[in-house]
Chain A
Amino acid sequence: MLTIKRVPTVVSNYQEDASESFGCGRNCIGHCCLPVSKLPLYKFKKNVKDSSEARVEVSSEGQPPAAFLDNLLLGQWEDRMSRGLFRYDVTLCETRIIPGNYGFIAQLNEGRHMKKRPTEFRVDQVLQPFDENKFNFTKIGQEEVLFRFEQSNDNNAHYFPVSPVTADSNSSSVVAINVSPIEYGHVLLIPHVLDCLPQRIDHDSFLLALHMAKEAADPFFRLGYNSLGAFATINHLHFQAYYLMAPFPVEKAPTERIIRRGKLPNSGVMISKMLNYPVQGFVFEGGNSMQDLSDTVANSCIFLQNNNIPYNVLISDCGGRIFLFPQCFAEKQALGDVSQELLDTLVNPAVWEISGHMVLKRREDYENASEEYVWRLLAEVSLSEERFQEVKGYVLEAAGLQEADMEEIQENERDREEDFNKPPTPRATPTFA
């Protein structure tokens, strides 16, 4: 029995109006229609000197200046709400902060579970080829697209409310609404939509995502990524993002640098590991430039996906802090290693859940949600200690560490951790896509 009010929706994939029949007539964003579309275009500025620019500038009044992209996103999203394009009204969904040390956030959302697009591929392979017969984002209607998102040619940002696609921007990226939103402002960043890339990270796309985080300049606007096998549901490259004006528990958790000072990799990126958090993972910060930070994280992601390790990524702090979580929940679930009680809550721990935002489908789970329950669920996400250590070695190497550093780190780790009694595993050469 649904307790939320249904918002009447407009069928998005068909346009009855035949007066302007460009493309295939359905006004989608495929090869047929996107090149003749006139969607708004936002061009972010080209050069970002260093990643410290990812910090939000504080004006003299102590408040961050209102960013244009922020206004654009919110305004466009609210517009789509008033046009009834979402499957349900997310502001009707009750939400609360669970009492406890971390402040996990719980939401009661029956509609998302019922109405979300179903997963159409196998969940035990992180890399799978794109299949144009399955649902992908070229099939969505243009009214679901808020704007195109591209890099400008100069050092300024530009916005064009109506912009025909030109030949050289045929590889345009778009920002679209998520019709089954988790929170207000839930959007999808789809890099180079016409290239029909499968869900896998590459350097260019990851940098695009970082640019978006930086341009929005709002620490409460975070981007997330789920690999296949880590609860992505559509095999078409996309990132998600939404607004939540509260700290995510993962952002509050303590971390520990795992590279010794003075031995930073050439990129200047600092890597830490999560401490005292139910899911083990890495935090990437710093870097000599935004590109350095982006490439470092992308390298680690590429390693993981090439080795069939599912993972999730959270981009927070306007692109200044990036969390990487290798995970194995789906595998455990398939092996029957997750308790039925946890499975009954129907929570698939993707990036938002791992970050501390739990979307629950049943009222009793929502009302009884406790920090202890969340901890227990998220603890099932982590790789085993042994496996994590192994993966950690590879991730660090993929991040560009010198061999000498690796040995030093592992000696330090051995001293610190009592149950680490394996010798360092031989390092295979990672292959980069």
Chain B
Amino acid sequence: MSGYSKEEVIGKNGRAFQGPGTSRRSIIEIQEAIQEERTIQTILLNYRKDGTPIWMLFHMSPVFSKEDGRVIHFVAVQVPMSRKPRRSGSGPGRDEVCEDGCRSRDIVFGSCRREVCSDSVLELERLLAFESLFDSDNRDDEEPREASDQEKRRAAAAVNNILSLLTHYSELTGKLVCEKRCTLSGIGLLGASLIISLGRIKQSFVLTDPHLPEMPIVYASDAFLKLTGYARHEVLGCQCMFLSGVDTDPSTLSQVKESIRTEQACTVRILNYRKDRSSFWNLLHISPVRNASGKIAYSVWVQMEEGCGYQDAQGLSPEMRQRSAVGAVKVAVRSSSMGAGPSKS
């Protein structure tokens, strides 16, 4: 779309693509969004290598580190806009998608931070692929125009795609990213009052976020840490299956994922591994947990080590204790999210 090659783009900042007709106001809007670390969608006039102008719907979103809530990247998607709104020429594949590869993460990251500090428009990611199928007569003039709904939707969809991919790849480095800022560092998206309520529950359990592809752990009880031998910071942000090991039955994992996907509770017997690599049979019970809006907020995973002689002195069975942990978590999550303000969620 831009006429530049990959090599020519990496490392450059956004100004390289601007020109005489680029609206100063758009630039300021984008700069403000960067400073405030939020999403923006605006119209931008950029220039190709050959100097011809092209109107784009510019959609930019911040990407936060799950660990500490800092902005790591800005993802910017450009959707070329057709000259006439109804023109079928605004066809497929016009989006320029950017993707980060792990290898160059540090380099890209480095330039990101510098660019952010220096307050200019960023073009961060390496251009991986783009399709230059524009019609020959799709030359733009410099008159301002409006983006169509379809273009806006495409931009949003592209950003979501990128974020999913980013999240997925960030698993490899263990440094999770997310679209929204985490409220408390190291603890993910949970509010303080919920954490306190959860702290009263004595059983081993974790909460995972079922909305992200790898279902990362957002809370772990003390009993869980004791059972598995991990420290809290080693566990938070990890994907939910991380206790699995070489002899864990993959079909059990699939069964769990399927239950979560269909919003069902399930109980499985699964081979898990502690930090010291010793294994244990885990009677694992998983249930969806809804918040005050009635929507699923988390999955709760309650662990019970098999053969631990868990019948306590007064006779509450292991299954009942697991269920009581689920109940306590459900009460805590539902109650703590009631005070969110307006009724429309």
Contact B197 A245 (CB under 8 A): yes
State in angstroms the CA–CA spacing of A92 and B330 once bound together: 11
Evaluate contact between A91 and B315: CB separation under 8 angstroms.
no
Chain A residues with CB below 8 A from B345, complex form: 94
User: On chain A, which size bracket covers the interface?
Assistant: 35 or more
Q: Does A402 contact B (CB under 8 A)?
A: no
A residues near B197, Cβ cutoff 8 Å: 245
Query: Which of A31-39, A73-81, A334-342, A425-433 binds B?
Result: A73-81
B-facing mask of A72-106, CB < 8 A → 1, else 0? 11111111001000000001111111010001011
Is A74's CB under 8 angstroms from B328's CB?
yes
A161 touches B338 (CB 8 A): no
CB contact under 8 A between A96 and B321, given known A68-B316, A74-B327, A245-B197: no
Nearest-neighbour CB distance to chain A for B238, whole angstroms, equals: 26
A159-B338 CB under 8 A given contacts A71-B321, A74-B328: no
Complex contacts, A133 vs chain B, CB 8 Å:
none
CA distance A367 to B324 in the complex (A): 32
Taken together as a complex, chains A and B put the C-alpha atoms of A77 and B329 apart, in Å, by 13
Contact A66 B200 (CB under 8 A): yes
User: What's the Cα separation between A103 and B327 when bound, in Å?
Assistant: 24
Cross-chain contact of B338 among A72, A96, A185, A367 (Cβ < 8 A): A96
- The distance in angstroms between the C-alpha atoms of A64 and B331, with both chains bound, is 16
Asked if A2 is at the interface (CB within 8 A of a chain B CB), the reply is no
Q: A243: which B residues are within 8 A, CB to CB?
A: 331, 335
Known: A158-B314, A245-B332. A75 touches B344 (CB 8 A): no
CB distance from A316 to the nearest CB of B (A): 16
B343 on the interface (CB 8 Å rule)? Answer: yes
Q: A184 near B: Cβ within 8 Å? A: yes
Residues of A within 8 A of B309 (CB): none
Interface residues of A in 239-261 (CB under 8 A from B): 243-246
Residue A394 interfacial (CB < 8 Å): no
Contact of A276 with B by CB under 8 A: no
Once bound together, how far apart are the Cα atoms of A157 and B324, in whole Å? 19
Could you tell me if B315 and A159 are in contact, using CB atoms closer than 8 angstroms? yes
Q: Which of A63, A78, A157 makes the CB contact (< 8 A) with B326?
A: A78
- Which A175-194 residues have a C-beta within 8 angstroms of B? 184-185
**Interface assignment of A373: CB less than 8 Å from any CB of chain B:** no
* Distance, CA A95 to CA B331, complexed state (A): 12
Indicate whether A92 sits within 8 Å of B326 (C-beta atoms), given known contacts A75-B321, A160-B315: no
Q: Which of A64, A71, A78 contacts B330, CB < 8 Å?
A: A78
A161 contacts across to B, CB distance below 8 A: 315-317
How far apart sit A245 and B331, CA to CA, in the bound complex (Å)? 7
* Chain A residues whose CB sits within 8 angstroms of the CB of B320 once the complex forms: 71-72, 75-76, 79
- Which residues 250-292 of A sit at the B interface, judged by CB distance below 8 A? none
Considering only CB atoms, which chain B residue lies closest to A105 in the complex?
A: B338
Q: A305 to B341, alpha carbons, bound, how many Å?
A: 40
Residues on the B chain within 8 Å of A99, using CB: 341
| Contact in complex: A71, B324 (CB < 8 Å) | yes
- A92, B290: Cβ atoms under 8 Å? yes
State whether the Cβ of B92 lies closer than 8 Å to any Cβ in chain A.
no
Interface residues of B in 174-216 (CB under 8 A from A): 197, 199-202
Contact, CB under 8 Å: A75 / B323: yes
**What residue of chain A has the Cβ atom nearest to residue B314's Cβ?**
A159
Residue of A nearest to B344 (CB): A367
In angstroms, Cα B335 to Cα A185, docked, is 13
Q: Answer yes or no: B244 CB below 8 A from chain A CBs.
A: no
- Nearest CB in chain B: distance from A151 CB, A: 16
**Is the C-beta of A231 less than 8 angstroms from some C-beta in chain B?**
no
Expressed in whole angstroms, the minimum distance between the Cβ of B50 and any Cβ of chain A is: 55
Most chain B CB within 10 A, of A70, A78, A159, A220, is at A78
Give Cα distance in the complex from A63 to B200, angstroms: 7
Chain B interface extent, by class: 35 or more
Are B327 and A159 in contact, with the CB atoms below 8 A?
no
With A75-B323, A78-B327, A184-B330 known as contacts, the answer to whether A96 contacts B340 (CB < 8 A) is yes
Tell me which residues across on chain A come within 8 A of B200, comparing CB atoms: 63-64, 66
Q: A82: nearest residue on chain B (CB-CB)?
A: B265
Judge whether B294 is part of the interface by a CB distance below 8 angstroms.
yes
Report whether A185 and B327 are in contact in the complex, using a CB–CB cutoff of 8 Å. Answer: yes
User: Which A residues lie within 8 Å of B341 (CB)?
Assistant: 96, 99
- B331 and A185 within 8 A (CB): yes
Chain B residues 299-319 with CB under 8 Å of chain A are 314-317, 319
* Known A94-B294, A96-B340: A75·B265 in contact at CB below 8 Å: no
A206 part of interface (Cβ distance < 8 Å): no
Chain B residues near A68 (CB-CB < 8 A): 314, 316
Say yes or no: A244 contacts B335, CB within 8 Å.
yes
In the assembled complex, the CB of A162 is this many whole angstroms from the nearest CB of chain B, namely 9
User: A246 to B335, Cβ gap below 8 A?
Assistant: yes
Interchain nearest-CB distance for A246 vs B (Å): 5
Scoring B residues 264 to 284 as 1 if CB is less than 8 Å from chain A, else 0, what string do you get?
Answer: 010000000000000000000
Chain A residues whose C-beta falls within 8 Å of the C-beta of B199 in the assembled complex? 63
User: Which single residue of chain A is at the shortest CB-CB distance from B328?
Assistant: A74
| CB pair B330 A96 closer than 8 Å | no
A311 / chain B contacts, CB cutoff of 8 Å:
none
A157 to B316, CA, bound (A): 13
A366 contacts the other chain (Cβ, under 8 Å)? yes
Cβ distance A100 to chain B, nearest Cβ, rounded Å: 12
Chain A residues with Cβ below 8 Å from B338 are 95-97, 105, 246
CB distance from B265 to the nearest CB of A (A): 6
The residue in A75, A77, A92, A369 that gathers the most chain B C-beta atoms within 10 A of its C-beta is: A75
Given A78-B324, A160-B315: A92 in contact with B294 (beta carbons within 8 A): yes
Is B316's CB under 8 angstroms from A159's CB? yes
A94 touches B293 (CB 8 A): yes
Complexed CA–CA distance, A366 and B202 (Å): 35
For residue A81, give the distance in angstroms from its CB to the closest CB of chain B: 8
Chain A's closest residue to B202 (CB) is A66
Name B residues whose Cβ lies closer than 8 Å to a Cβ of A.
197, 199-202, 265, 287, 290, 292-294, 314-317, 319-324, 326-328, 330-332, 334-336, 338-341, 343-345
A71-B324, A245-B331, A367-B343 known; 6 new pairs, CB 8 Å cut-off, are A63-B199, A77-B327, A95-B334, A105-B338, A106-B343, A161-B315
22 pairs of residues in contact across A and B, judged by CB atoms under 8 Å: A74-B327, A74-B331, A75-B327, A76-B323, A78-B287, A78-B324, A78-B330, A79-B323, A92-B294, A94-B293, A94-B343, A96-B338, A96-B341, A103-B339, A157-B314, A159-B314, A159-B316, A160-B315, A161-B316, A184-B327, A184-B334, A245-B197
The 7 A-B pairs of least Cβ separation, nearest first, read A74-B327, A245-B335, A75-B324, A75-B323, A71-B324, A78-B327, A75-B320
